[in-house]
Structure formats: structure tokens, C-alpha cells
């Protein structure tokens, strides 16, 4: 069977499909904005609707609440896209305990709007390897349910090609945990402005903690050049994303300040750091020494940013073996 697409009232047919135990579906697409069309299905037991193998699972609006009702083949590997525009689209899932909705092996996971809030409820296979992971949150409320979660508490396993966070999704980066042996090709940060880095955000909390620990900015003076230590640079917290093995970081339409807290002296050597279309505020701003953002070690010719942004970064160029270049 190639595709199954059930929309609006047709979604009521889902429990009546009676698929063969060896069923294989290319794409299952479920969408309805009417809670009444899924109410009878929500009364069914969890994992009571057999689907067999599904290559692509797409749930939109109220259909997202049906995720716990679906049962997949134990060897299934699929792409998952969930889009919940309203709180009611995910309200049935939020009452579940964390890591109780088994989705098995997932090749790619894309969550939009309120669907991001169910991330702690999902349980991926312990050996899961994803190619792509993408979160899109246009408003802070879409991710606010996750703020109370422990850092590094949301297990993703391995993510190989791309981990992409757009807008307010940047705020839950410290909640994510990757396999210790994972090597991520690209961390992408898109459309993040300074207004999204509020006083309760993880980035500014880390800055506040760093200041408290140091008492104030630490000044390391030499005979040649007095220099202020960049916040969240050497000696700061190296947990979470700052300890990930990442080949490149790409930022687009974003403030360079979104990088704070992601890189420390414990971070890996970057092959490339790229910032395209930086915010006008960053472009017109003169960054003082104590305001520079710590980037760490990056390979020669791997820095692709406008000159004004380059002055906002604290970094060290290294050769292919990771050795500091001799000036």
C-alpha cells in the first residue's frame, strides 16, 4: 500500500482499516481541526491501532493527539512530522508520563508549533540514528512547557546530518541530549533575534551564573594587551551542547548572541562557522572586549561572517590537525 491520507471526518476510518500484519505504507497522513472527529479514537487503548511499517508519518492539528494510539512494526524506521497549531492538538499527550510514547527508530523528526511540547513524552529506540532533527517555534508559548525539564533530559540518540532550531526553539537546546559518540554535520540556528533571549532564557541564565561565579568580569592582563575574558568562554560550563562534536555551525537571520552558551573551551574544533544575514542591530553595534562571543577553535578558512561580526567573536584559528596557527 503506497499512501493513506485521512482528513477531516474521514479520520474516523482509521481504527477500521484492519491492515495486514505485514502491511507497508509509504506515507500515512492524518489531519483534522475538529476534536469531535477524533474523540472516539482517543477512547481506544494506547498502541491499539496496528499500522505495520510506515516510511513517513505526518500528523496535523488534532491528529497529533492520536500518536499514542498507533502501533508500528518493531523493525519500523520512519520519518515523522508533527504539527500542532493549538494547545488542544496535544493536550491528550501532555498528561502522559515522559518517555512513554514509543515511536521506535526515527530517520527524521520535525516538530512545529505546540507539537514541540510533546518532545519529552516521546521514546526513541535506544540505538536510534537520525539524519535530521528540526524544531520550529514561532512563539515562546510553543516551547514553554519544556522550560521546567532538566538539562540534557531529552534523549535523541544520534543525529548525523542536521539539527535545526528556528526562532524560539533555540531556548530548549540545553534540554537535548545526544549520544556521546555522535558527530553532527551541522547545527543550524535560524531567525533568532535578541528579543527571544529573554531574562528567563537558558542563555542569559548561563551568563548570569557565570557573572555570579566570577563576581564580575575577569580581567587577564599582559604587558602587551589587557584583555577581558569573554563570558562563557574558557573555564565556563562545558555540559550540554557545548560538549557536542559538531563539524559546522550555520546561523541565518540571527543575532550572534544566540551562540553564547553553545561554545566553551571544552568544545570541539569547528570545521566551519557561517553567519548569513545577521541582524541589523548586530551589524551596527560596536562590541566591546567584554561583550565578545566565544567561538573557540575553528579551522583556517572556516570562518564565513561579515567583518563587523568577526570583531564580535573570540576565536582561535587552527590547522587541519587542530594546532594553533603561528602568527
Whole-number Å distance between alpha carbons of 91 and 80? 19
User: Taking the CA of residue 124 as centre, how many other CA atoms within 13 Å lie in the half-sphere pointing to its CB?
Assistant: 29
What are the two backbone dihedrals, phi and then psi, of residue 138, each rounded to the nearest 5 degrees? -75, -25
What are the two backbone dihedrals, phi and then psi, of residue 140, each rounded to the nearest 5 degrees? -65, -30
| Residue-level pLDDT, tens digit, the chain, 327 residues | 689 999 999 999 888 887 888 889 999 999 998 888 899 999 888 999 999 899 999 999 999 999 999 999 989 999 999 999 999 999 999 999 999 999 999 999 999 999 999 999 999 998 899 999 999 999 999 999 998 889 999 999 999 999 999 999 999 999 999 999 999 999 999 999 988 875 444 444 554 444 444 344 443 333 334 333 333 333 334 457 888 999 999 999 999 988 887 888 788 999 999 999 998 888 888 777 777 889 999 999 999 999 889 988 999 999 888 888 865
Whole-number Å distance between alpha carbons of 88 and 114? 9
Reported as type and span, the H/E element at residue 307 is: helix 307-310
SS3 57: strand
SS3 217: coil
Q: What is the pLDDT of residue 214?
A: 39
Q: What is the pLDDT of residue 124?
A: 93
Whole-number Å distance between alpha carbons of 238 and 61? 38
224: which DSSP letter?
A: S
CA 220 vs CA 149, 225, 227: distances in Å: 36, 9, 6
**If you search the block for the grid coordinates 500518536, which residue do you land on?**
67
pTM above 0.95, yes or no: no
C-beta separation of 296 from 317 below 8 A:
no
C-beta separation of 19 from 51 below 8 A:
yes
Whole-number Å distance between alpha carbons of 106 and 109? 7
Q: Which three cell numbers stand for residue 223?
A: 604587558
Amino acid at each position: 500500500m503506497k499512501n493513506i491520507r485521512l482528513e477531516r471526518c474521514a479520520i474516523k476510518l482509521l481504527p477500521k482499516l484492519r491492515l495486514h500484519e505485514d502491511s507497508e505504507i509509504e506515507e500515512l497522513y492524518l489531519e483534522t481541526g475538529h476534536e469531535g472527529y477524533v474523540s472516539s479514537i482517543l477512547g481506544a487503548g494506547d498502541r491499539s491501532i496496528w499500522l505495520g511499517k510506515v516510511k513517513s508519518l505526518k500528523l496535523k492539528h488534532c491528529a497529533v493527539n492520536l500518536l499514542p494510539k498507533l502501533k508500528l512494526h518493531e523493525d519500523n524506521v520512519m520519518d515523522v512530522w508533527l504539527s500542532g497549531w493549538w494547545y488542544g492538538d496535544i493536550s491528550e499527550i501532555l498528561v502522559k508520563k515522559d518517555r512513554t510514547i514509543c515511536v521506535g527508530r526515527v530517520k527524521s523528526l520535525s516538530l512545529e508549533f505546540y507539537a514541540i511540547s510533546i518532545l519529552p513524552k516521546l521514546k526513541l529506540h535506544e540505538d536510534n540514528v537520525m539524519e535530521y532533527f528540526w524544531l520550529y517555534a514561532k512563539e515562546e508559548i510553543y516551547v514553554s512547557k519544556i522550560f521546567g525539564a532538566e538539562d540534557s533530559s531529552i534523549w535523541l540518540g544520534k543525529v548525523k546530518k542536521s539539527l535545526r532550531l528556528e526562532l524560539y526553539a533555540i531556548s530548549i537546546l540545553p534540554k537535548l541530549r545526544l549520544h556521546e559518540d555522535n558527530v553532527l554535520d551541522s547545527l543550524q540556528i535560524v531567525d533568532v533575534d535578541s528579543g527571544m533571549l529573554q531574562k528567563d532564557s537558558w542563555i542569559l541564565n548561563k551568563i548570569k551564573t557565570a557573572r555570579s561565579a566570577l563576581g564580575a568580569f575577569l580581567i587577564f592582563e599582559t604587558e602587551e594587551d589587557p584583555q577581558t575574558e569573554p563570558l562563557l568562554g574558557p573555564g565556563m560550563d562545558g555540559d550540554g551542547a557545548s560538549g557536542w562534536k559538531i563539524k559546522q555551525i550555520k546561523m541565518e537571520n540571527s543575532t550572534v548572541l544566540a551562540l553564547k552558551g553553545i561554545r566553551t573551551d571544552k568544545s570541539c574544533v569547528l570545521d566551519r562557522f557561517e553567519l548569513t544575514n545577521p541582524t541589523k542591530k548586530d551589524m551596527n553595534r560596536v562590541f566591546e572586549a567584554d561583550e565578545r562571543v566565544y567561538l573557540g577553535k575553528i579551522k583556517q578558512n572556516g570562518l564565513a561572517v561579515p567583518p563587523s561580526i568577526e570583531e564580535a567573536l573570540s576565536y582561535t584559528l587552527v590547522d587541519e590537525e587542530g594546532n594553533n596557527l603561528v602568527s
